[in-house]
Chain A
Amino acid sequence: MSDAARPRPQPLTPSPFLSVHNLEKSFPQADGRVFVLRQISLDVAPGDFVTIMGPSGAGKSTLLSVLGMLDGEWTGEYRLLEHDVHALKHKERIALGKRYVGFVFQQYHLIDDLTVAENLAMPLSYRDVKAEARESAVADTLDRFGMVAKKNLYPRQLSGGQQQLVGVARAVIHKPALLLADEPTGNLHSDQGREIMELFRELNTGGTTIVQVTHSEENATFGKRVVQLRDGWIVD
């Protein structure tokens, strides 16, 4: 792969849901810079289910953080729907991410001191949803994910699979258009992982655009296409 800038790829559809072009992220080092992402160009259509794969240290999670607006230290172009993310200020990016993005983490990252119901309600509280509407949304989500009986339990009282289920539910409760999942089944055994991936497929069928990072070939089969990342580059 030459170091020359790649030409902007032709969009798969007239207006992709998400599009990055020549995205790069690096850190300064004593003898220069270390690149974590190099000239990443990628389009994601609405309703797409993209799997990003690659060895450890390839930059997969970093790319996910950039797409999810958690990381603002990068160069290049990033367009989400009609928004030029690369031109936005920090607060504007945060607001955009809040509006469109949901995150599922490998380590669940549930809040230990909150019940299942309270964990689900948290994203809504940060989006100024009124208490009554919050309660209604939490009740609907608990029902949808079959967790009504567990609503008053704490994370430590749940199995790994159940915790990840709560993590997924929390990520989608505010109906994001884009769901980002970083190794969502990495801490689960295979049956539980399969259950989660089925859920993702179901969400995708319902219209949610999903980008997942995984090492698992099996998980990749639930998506529609795979993007390979190696040493910060997208490889064919």
Chain B
Amino acid sequence: MTAILTLALGIGLATAVFTVADALLLRRLPVQDQDRLVVLWGQMPERDFAYPLGFDDARDFARRSRSLERVATVASWGAAPLPIRDADQISRLRRALVSGEFFDVLGVRPVLGRALRASDDVYGAAPVMVLSYAAWQQRFGGDTSVLGRQLVMYENGVPFTIVGVMPQGLDYPRGTDFWTSVSVAIPPTGLPFVSLHVIGRLAPRATITDARAEMTTFFGRAAASPWEHDLRGVGQTLPRLVLGDVRPALFVFAAASGLLLLITCINVASLLLVRGVGRFREIAVRSALGAGRGRLIVQLLIENGILAVAGGALGIVVAAAALQSFIAFAPPGVPRLDEIHLNVTALAGAVGIAGVAMLFFGLAPAVMTSHVELQRALRSDTRQSGSRRSRLATEGLVAGQVALALVVLSAAGLIAKSLVKLERAELSLEPSSLLIGELAVRYDQHDNATKQRALLERLLPQLQMIPGVRGVSPVVAVPFAGSAAWDGRPAADGQSAEQIAANPMLNMDVVAPDYFKTLVIPVLRGRGFSDADREGTPAVVVVSQSAARHYWSGGDPIGKRVRMGAELERTLTVIGVVPDTRYRDLREARPSIYFPLRQSFFPFAPMALAIRTSGPPAAQVAAIRRVISETAPGFALTSAAPFETFLDGPLAQPRLNALLLAVFACAAVVLAAVGLFGAMATMVRQRTRELGVRMALGANAGDLRRMVMGRGLTIAAIGSALGLFGALLANRLLRGLLYDVTPTDLATLVAVTVILIVVSALASLIPARATTRIDPVVALRAE
């Protein structure tokens, strides 16, 4: 029974992980021949920054390409959130802009209605959209009458008609709620500002290397701008691109799953080995009655096979329960949860795993026990003690389990420590009582940045007067917005061309004078912005510490000048220095540059608000929404949430990693403890006679307990030493998943070793205490 339950636990969890990995990471995209689809863009040598193509260039490349037989384009910024009005509700959906032949190139069929067509991608065509499966389910409840329904783009009041729904699993660009064509969504005057990636289907016999080379050649053509000549074509296959950032996690989970299965197999192997030893006499009798060695092995394999089948069947039940638990307790932000369910692939995997386990744990004990010497086994004095060799083999297996458990436990410990560090990362701003709201603007009413800024200027004082509001400022983007925020690379006065080229990308924000007070960001040197920093007065900026260090290391940045613009024609003076914050990226405090709202020269206005409240932020939302609609018609508040909720995004994957590895680690430790308990209990049982002799020779209960505990702890110590060695090697694979923790973190390794030793001591304690119940008279008399 123990063997079946152990097998079920190991197979069940391994199957559950296989299912999750398959659903989240491995399941094939619902496209035709996915490995022949490639996505291309440009890259400057030795720079980790993508250079997309302009609208005209993308079309030009599509015409010229020989390595790609069909070509489409997709906006390089991916699926961007956009305010949508559905009846009188305004919310945000993530829109992906694509060319009309996008779905044709992918070779994907809609589950409802139709896909976009080339005729949809013409300026002036009727605006249509295609929904993603997830959006169709979550927003429209899977209603098949959704076709023909219209959603209005709040920014320009243009209604888009839903013409189709894509199949489940098509999540490119990641997070897309709907696709629409570039030419309809962007007016002709805006097309020069659109940046695109090329997505194409490789021609027969063409490779991705050919496609990259073709893109490199395209950048080097005579008509290209001089700076483009340094670009080289890069790209990925579509599946690799979609899975890219989860590959490290996938590898870790696969390794942990494999280790868990190995522990399970070892555990069951040792249980069966012990059982086999206990059947020496039976096997000897069968041998004496004529059973050949091969027959005995077959018999044992069949018996073990039945165990494997039972364990595999129960393992499927465990897997189903584990999956339900995962779905129920998964951290927010985990995608494709609705696609997680046991399927044929997982079932086949479970059967395969059980088969491998049967061969592995059935064969070794079968071979060992079929080697029994007939005469020796039939003698009474060998009945219970078992051979030293088999005992050492069992203990060796248990030590192996302990070693593997320590490897998994150390990985879980490192990931957990990394998560804690990430959750406690110094933001350099005050996140509590801070509301972040997103605005939608009617671009048809406020069609330029000047009008939008004027509307903001009118709105901010009104918001400030709401009771409970202590500070307000616009911001460019919500926290952790990634590519949806603004970046720029200003040059400092006096920098050479080489120095300018080496400047880092700075996070840019356009803010009101109240910004630093609202976010509680201290001004370290100089001053923040004031009402005096307006149009017509000297242009000023505030920079963050690391930006100041880069441009003016060792010097006082206050009063220094930076240049911006296509020709670096704009000059701005640094008036203040603030800390780098993690508003944009939780893992890394970004160097930043801030511009006062009244001096903003950017073609877009900041469309989010940061509002400091005196009480719970959510309590102010209704009042804020009312003030906005009264004061700034043409603006709408599409969402408002406390700052802390935005932390769920960047923490989703680390939390998932920690959760899954913690489950693995617990299972591994439990299995190792069960293995150790079994080995010690067997030791006591098989050495009862010896223990009785020791008592007759003067050993007391404490001596016997120490003997059993000592043996158990010796096995655990050997296993731990091996495990530490293994952890030092294996945990290097975790580097990409760790934050501010090294793979060889000493404190973590010590802690997990101590935990394992303590668990081992507890596992040995029960068998050790059982020795006190040994009656030496009975033990010495027993055969």
Contact = CB atoms under 8 A, between A and B. Distances in A.
B697 A70 contact: no
A170 B692 CA distance: 15
B698 A65 contact: no
B693 A112 contact: no
B699 A109 contact: no
Nearest to B385: A112
A122 B780 contact: no
A70 B781 CA distance: 12
A52 to B, nearest CB: 16
8 contacts: A61-B781, A70-B777, A71-B777, A105-B696, A109-B690, A122-B697, A126-B699, A170-B697
A123 interface: yes
Interface in B745-783: 776-777, 780-781
A122 B696 CA distance: 11
Given A70-B777, A71-B777, A112-B388, A103 B696 contact: yes
B239 to A, nearest CB: 58
A61 B696 CA distance: 14
B328 to A, nearest CB: 51
B381 A107 contact: yes
A190 B381 CA distance: 21
Given A70-B776, A70-B777, A71-B777, A109 B698 contact: no
A111 B381 contact: no
Contacts of B690: 109, 111-112
A98 interface: yes
Contacts of A107: 381
A109 B780 contact: yes
B777 A103 contact: no
A42 interface: no
Interface of B: 381, 385, 388, 689-690, 692-700, 703, 776-777, 780-781
A94 interface: yes
Given A109-B780, A126-B703, A103 B697 contact: yes
A127 B698 contact: yes
A82 interface: no
A39 to B, nearest CB: 21
A107 B379 CA distance: 13
Contacts of A105: 693, 696, 780
B293 to A, nearest CB: 24
Nearest to B781: A61
A68 interface: yes
A113 interface: yes
Interface string A68-101: 1011000000000000000000010010011000
Q: Which of B690, B692, B694, B780 has the most CB of A within 10 A?
A: B780
A102 B780 CA distance: 15
A127 B694 CA distance: 12
Contacts of B388: 112-113
A94 B697 contact: no
A13 B690 CA distance: 39
Nearest to A71: B777
Given A109-B690, A174-B698, 4 more contacts: A70-B777, A71-B777, A105-B693, A113-B388
Contacts of B700: 91, 94, 126
Nearest to B698: A126
A56 to B, nearest CB: 13
Contacts of B689: 109
A123 B776 contact: no
Contacts of B695: 70
A111 B697 CA distance: 11
Contacts of B698: 97-98, 123, 126-127, 174
Contacts of A71: 777
Nearest to A102: B697
A114 to B, nearest CB: 10
B699 A111 contact: no
A130 to B, nearest CB: 16
Q: Which of A61, A65, A127 has the most CB of B within 10 A?
A: A65
Q: Which of B699, B700, B777, B781 has the most CB of A within 10 A?
A: B777
Given A70-B776, A71-B777, A123 B697 contact: yes
A105 B779 CA distance: 12
Nearest to B690: A111
B29 to A, nearest CB: 61
Contact of B777 (A65, A122, A123, A170): A65
B665 to A, nearest CB: 35
Given A107-B381, A112-B385, A112-B388, A126 B694 contact: yes
Contacts of A122: 694, 697
A109 B693 contact: yes
A227 B689 CA distance: 29
A113 B693 CA distance: 13
Q: Which of B692, B698, B699, B777 has the most CB of A within 10 A?
A: B698
Contacts of B696: 68, 70, 103, 105, 109
A12 B381 CA distance: 42
A193 B703 CA distance: 33
Contacts of B694: 111, 122, 126
Contacts of A123: 697-698
B708 to A, nearest CB: 14
Contacts of A97: 698
Interface in A103-123: 103, 105, 107, 109, 111-113, 122-123
A103 B777 CA distance: 12
Contacts of B780: 70, 105, 109
A185 B388 CA distance: 27
Contacts of A94: 700
A126 B776 contact: no
Contacts of A103: 696-697
Nearest to A107: B381
Nearest to A62: B777
Nearest to B699: A126
Interface in A165-197: 170, 174
A94 B698 CA distance: 8
Contacts of A112: 385, 388, 690
A126 to B, nearest CB: 4
Contacts of B703: 126
A33 to B, nearest CB: 18
A174 B699 CA distance: 14
Contacts of A62: 777
A71 B776 CA distance: 8
B727 to A, nearest CB: 32
A112 B694 CA distance: 12
B255 to A, nearest CB: 38
A109 B694 CA distance: 9
A85 to B, nearest CB: 16
Nearest to B380: A107
A94 to B, nearest CB: 6
A122 B694 CA distance: 8
Nearest to B697: A123
A174 B697 CA distance: 10
B777 A111 contact: no
A13 to B, nearest CB: 28
Contacts of A68: 696
Interface string A57-70: 00001100100101
A170 B697 CA distance: 9
Interface in A13-65: 61-62, 65
Nearest to A98: B698
A113 B386 CA distance: 11
Contacts of B381: 107
B281 to A, nearest CB: 17
A156 B698 CA distance: 24
A90 to B, nearest CB: 10
Given A65-B777, A109-B689, A126 B697 contact: yes
A68 B692 CA distance: 13
Nearest to A114: B690
Nearest to B381: A107
